[in-house]
Amino acid sequence: MEHVLCKHILNHLEKKHLLTAFQHGFRKAHSCETQLLLTVDDLVSAYDKKVQVDMGILDFSRAFDTVPHERLMSKLAHYGIRGPIQRWIRSFLQDRSMWVVADGECSPSTRVLSGVPQGTVLGPLLFLVYINDLPFCLTPGTTARLFADDCLVYREVRGQEDQVILQRDLVEYAAVVWDPFRQKDIDALEMVNRRAARFVTSNYRRQDVSVTALLRDLKWPSLQTRRHDARPVMMCKITNGLVAIPPTRLTPAHARTRANHAHKYRTLQPKCDTAKFAYFARTIPEWNNLSAHVVDSPSLDAFKSRLLSSHP
């Protein structure tokens, strides 16, 4: 059954050109060799033009084991895989358990709540669907070359702005999800920004100029500020159906509380810190406090512009 479904789903994705051309893993006529050929050709072309290329190499930790099932279901639906096939896949992923055997002793079993099973026919294809939109999250001009969960991200660098864009693509991907709330984690990320400021200005003499002054001259906001602004932008996308996360996951606020705009949501009441600082619990109050002028923007670009203008 797995073989039949895998072939059917793959034919659907390939026929409708839904899989990104940047993915070379687990696909017919694609390989590590084809990925490297295209990557090296891009690098050689830039070298021939005497243009610098900066590259980041990413390897997602326990990538197959950490795929959230509900988010995978949303992405399958987005690509037209719904109905009985999606229900079969949900059943295929759910109610799995695992245990460890050591020296003949078996540990208690525990339920598997995330991930696609490795060693199966369907697992690799499901992972490709899950990671498929990664290249489209990058700034235009930045290229991603994927081989399953291994990823090269690179960009021609013609000035400081290109360096900044690439670094932000690497350090801010999916930031609305993992945005930290502990100060030590926030500070660790800001160190990346501060080191980047010295790198792009070639100014490493701390006695000459402070990194705060460099950041001010570069007009770089803190990474924390950028993550804070990214959260309502994602909520705007969800509310307007621009991403494969249905707004039905959120409960509209009572009509009497919609004083400033008509798209407010009921706030959540989580108990533990992990839940309190998760995306929706953290962002809904911020979204509800925005003005109608910002929320009712005619486009996503207009929303971003009005959001920035609304800052004191």
Q: What is the DSSP string of 241-309?
A: T-SSS-GGGSPBPPGGG-SS-S--BPPP---SHHHHTSHHHHHHHHHHTS-HHHHT-SSHHHHHHHHHH
State the distance between the two ends of the chain, measured CA to CA, in whole angstroms: 58
Q: Which segments within 99-226 are labelled E, that is strand?
A: 101-102, 105-106, 110-112, 142-147, 150-157
Q: Which segments within 62-100 are labelled E, that is strand?
A: 96-98
- What is the residue-level pLDDT of the chain in tens, covering all 312 positions? 899 999 999 999 999 999 999 999 999 889 988 999 999 999 999 999 888 898 989 888 888 998 999 999 999 999 999 999 999 999 999 888 888 999 999 999 988 889 998 889 999 999 999 999 999 888 889 999 999 999 999 999 887 677 667 767 777 878 888 899 999 999 998 998 888 888 878 888 877 788 889 888 888 889 899 999 999 999 999 999 888 787 788 898 886 666 678 899 999 998 888 889 999 999 999 999 999 999 999 999 999 999 999 887
**pTM of the complete model:** 0.58
Q: What are phi and psi of 63, to 5 degrees?
A: -60, -50
Q: Which residue has the tokens 């339920």?
A: 111
* Inter-residue contact 225 to 219 (CB < 8 Å): no
Residue 237's SS3 state is: helix
Strands 142-147, 150-157: pairing is antiparallel
Structure tokens at 116: 């696609």
CA within 13 Å, CB half, 55:
12
CA–CA separation, 185 and 182 (whole Å):
6
